[in-house]
Amino acid sequence: MTNPATLPDTFRAMLLTKDGDAVSANLTDVPSRDLPAGEVTVRVQASDLNYKDGLAILGKLGIRTYPMVPGIDFAGTVLDSSDARYKAGDAVTLTGWGVGERYWGGYAELARAKADWLVKTPGRFSAAEAMAVGTAGLTAMLCVMALEDAGLTPDQGGEVLVTGAAGGVGSVAVSLLSARGYRVTAATGRVASEGDYLRSLGAAELMDRAELSALKKPLEKERWAAAVDVAGGATLTGVLASTCYGGHVAACGLADSAALMTSVLPFILRNVTLHGVDSVQCPAPTRQRAWDRLAAELPDQLLQSGVQTARLEDLPRLAGEILAGQVRGRTVVDLT
């Protein structure tokens, strides 16, 4: 294990504490001896901002153990490892596994984690670029993989819908699908402000998300060969009702609602398949496959636009903005 003498006495972190029902997020110097158990100690260079991070910072995530360092993703360099798979100097990335919820996460200069949770950062990506991908990009690729593993191919034609298209998962999904030759319709509640951005990512058509949630019949006019949905609730209900016969829908979020008000009719009369996609507990082989595909397929455009850089002290403000649906694309947190 790491020799404590090789670490600084303290490291800067965002620490969540709870007093009664009130959760506070404060930047503080944390003793290095307080790092949790784990085989690998990492000098964190970058993290990112996800919807779940916003919930945690604002005390809405249901974290059970405090104090907690939030940040469900991080990328950096190994300082020390007792696991033979990693050595000092290796560039590594962590997404999911309950980090930032049950285990201390990435909003800190140092992190310690289980070796099984890490992947080696693909050589194409810097730490900041890996976090421009992050959980959102991994989830988007897992959705694309779910659709293609089910048989979807670009040469079949038809429209592929992406909801929440201006957000983190949605923007990566639009970019990946468009680059692979699919005709993508991007649905967002911010068509007026984000239309040009979504077209720059490859969207062929734009759609107001309200049109989907307004669909109330169990079966509507068939339109989508496939879809990636980040919203759930009434949005996903409308997506399922308007998916073509034999179509596939990959559902990965609940930005609208965790509820699903639908019937069995899309499934038994149109042979629609609903695929649940999870990136938190995703098995290591599938996770590595997704990262390898991201390194090979992610258009440079996504890393060059729609990415903003923030500091730890910006996060309380940005947490409110991401929950309100006001954050475009990806936010990278610089910890260098």
| Better pLDDT: 185 or 3 | 185
Domain 4-121+306-334 class, CATH top level: alpha beta
Residue with tokens 């490859």: 202
- What is the average pLDDT across 259-281? 96
Q: Which CATH number fits domain 135-276: 3.40.630.10, 3.10.450.100, 3.30.70.380, 3.40.50.720?
A: 3.40.50.720
Residue-wise pLDDT tens digits, 296-305: 999 988 887 7
Q: In 10 A of CB 221, how many CB atoms?
A: 9
Rounded alpha-carbon distances, angstroms, from residue 172 to 22, 199, 264, 275, 302: 35, 13, 30, 18, 7
Going from N- to C-terminal start, the domains of the chain cover 4-121+306-334, 135-276
Q: pLDDT grade, residue 327 (50/70/90)?
A: confident
* pLDDT number for residue 5: 42
Q: In 10 A of CB 87, how many CB atoms?
A: 11
- What is the average pLDDT across 231-235? 96
Contact in structure between 75 and 6 (CB atoms under 8 Å)? no
Residue with tokens 């936010």: 331
290: closest CA among 254, 246, 252? 252
- Bond preceding residue 36 cis, omega within 30 of 0: no
Dihedral angle sign, alpha carbons of residues 106, 100, 253, 277:
positive
120: closest CA among 295, 297, 304? 295
Residue-wise pLDDT tens digits, 9-33: 999 999 999 999 899 999 999 999 9
- What is the average pLDDT across 77-91? 96
* pLDDT number for residue 227: 98
The CA distance from 325 to 318, in Å, is 10
* Average pLDDT of the chain to the nearest whole number: 94
